[in-house]
Amino acid sequence: MAHTASSTRIWTYFNGDWHEGPVALIGPHTHAFWLGSSVFDGARAFEGVTPDIDRHCTRVNESARKFGLKASVAHDTWLGLVREGLKRFGGQPELYIRPMYWAESGGALAVPADPESTRWCLTMYDAPMPEPKGASITLSPFRRPTIETMPVDAKAGCLYPNNARALVEAGGRGFDNCLLCDVLGNVAELATANVFMAKDGVVYTPIANGTFLNGITRQRVIGLLRDAGVEVREAVLRYADFQGADEIWSCGNFAKVAPITRIDGRTLAPGPLYRRARELYWAFAHG
């Protein structure tokens, strides 16, 4: 998910050059600022590795095209800029890596974005990896949209205010995060990540049904577990399934694989399948 660049070390490539610190990208008439025409992707650097950076660079271009923007940056150009940016931090920094596209102006009637006005940047900044201490979750009253109502097939900035209000509502009830359902009441994802659960030795995750992004880290963890002989089922899951789960964990780019240690009033201990998923992912990242 998106995260605030609150550290002092920020580098952004924009308009043909690298800029240190916050840099002005848009103005009051920029279409993305006014009407939300932006897409992005999020990758990670930590412990000297950038797992699946190639997939993240591919996906930002796919998101741009699905959103009606012009994906003007070649995949290898993104990768080369990431390598350049990493050198500016030195050592083995823990970074959030965010390529972005947005529209500067609108087309007919102003509301649709003009793809020829598409601009782009790559921003990289300090973002320490969260310690896997565990988080508490509950059920959100808000729902995930469908493709008929929002561009859920792209990693688009306009999708995040809905998850943000879900987080604020859950936080007001004392929870760190929350599960959102689709319009039919099936669990889709956490407000900031994909979600997994385990029951009786089997791992489950909500089936990708077009209401949430089928995350790159999600796909990676599914493959790693299956290759290790763990049964993983992508399934239609209700909130009651999570309430009765043996283990729950989040899976996303920012924290990678992290345990859920409380659902409503029930405490959960990080279990063996969560630990296996995290160990497999870290081994893959360093492999």
Q: Is residue 1 part of a domain?
A: no
Are 248 and 257 in contact by the 8 Å Cβ rule? The answer is no
**How does pLDDT run across 168-201, given as a tens digit for each residue?**
999 999 999 999 999 999 999 999 999 999 999 9
Same domain, 161 and 274: yes
Q: What is the pTM of this model?
A: 0.94
Whether residue 3 has pLDDT greater than 50: no
How does the average pLDDT of the chain come out, rounded? 96
Q: If you write DSSP's letter for every residue of 3-36 in order, what string do you get? A: ----SS-EEEEETTEEEES------TT-HHHHH-
In this structure, what CATH number is given to the domain that contains residue 237? 3.20.10.10
Whether residue 241 has pLDDT greater than 60: yes
**How does pLDDT run across 28-78, given as a tens digit for each residue?**
999 999 999 999 999 999 999 999 999 999 999 999 999 999 999 999 999
Six token digits for residue 141: 């009253």
Phi, psi dihedrals of residue 93, rounded to the nearest 5°: -70, 155
Same domain, 55 and 96: yes
In this structure, what CATH number is given to the domain that contains residue 88? 3.30.470.10
Instruction: Give the model's pLDDT for residue 8.
Output: 76
Same domain, 163 and 96: no
Q: Is residue 229 part of a domain?
A: yes
Q: Is residue 177 part of a domain?
A: yes
100 beta partners: 40, 121
Q: Is residue 114 part of a domain?
A: yes
Q: Is residue 56 part of a domain?
A: yes
Same domain, 122 and 139: no
Tally of CA atoms within 13 A in the half-sphere of 86 that contains its CB = 20
Same domain, 154 and 226: yes
Same domain, 109 and 222: no
**How does pLDDT run across 194-225, given as a tens digit for each residue?**
999 999 999 999 999 999 999 999 999 999 99
Which residue, 81, 100, 126, sits at the end of a domain? 126
Q: What mean pLDDT is predicted for residues 265-274?
A: 97
State how far the Cα of 187 lies from the Cα of 236, in Å rounded to an integer. Answer: 8
State how far the Cα of 18 lies from the Cα of 67, in Å rounded to an integer. Answer: 26
Confidence of residue 158 (pLDDT cuts 50, 70, 90): very high
Domain hosting 15: range is 10-126
Same domain, 178 and 265: yes
Are 186 and 238 in contact by the 8 Å Cβ rule? The answer is yes
Using alpha carbons, select from 253, 227, 205 the residue that is nearest to residue 40.
Answer: 253
Instruction: Give the model's pLDDT for residue 5.
Output: 43
State how far the Cα of 241 lies from the Cα of 197, in Å rounded to an integer. Answer: 9
- CA 41-102-182 angle, 5° bins: 55
State how far the Cα of 209 lies from the Cα of 174, in Å rounded to an integer. Answer: 30
Same domain, 161 and 238: yes
Q: Is residue 238 part of a domain?
A: yes
Whether residue 116 has pLDDT greater than 90: yes
Whether residue 6 has pLDDT greater than 60: no
Same domain, 148 and 272: yes
Whether residue 146 has pLDDT greater than 50: yes
**Considering all CA atoms of the chain, what is the largest pairwise distance in Å, rounded to the nearest integer?**
56
Whether residue 87 has pLDDT greater than 80: yes
The residues, ordered by sequence, that sit 6+ positions from 230 with a Cβ below 8 Å of its Cβ are 203, 273, 276
Q: Is residue 4 part of a domain?
A: no
Same domain, 207 and 257: yes
Using alpha carbons, select from 278, 262, 261 the residue that is nearest to residue 270.
Answer: 261
Task: Name the domain count of the chain.
Answer: 2
Same domain, 105 and 144: no
Q: Is residue 49 part of a domain?
A: yes
Using alpha carbons, select from 148, 235, 155, 149 the residue that is nearest to residue 187.
Answer: 235
Instruction: Give the model's pLDDT for residue 166.
Output: 98
Same domain, 76 and 144: no
Which residue, 103, 126, 149, sits at the end of a domain? 126
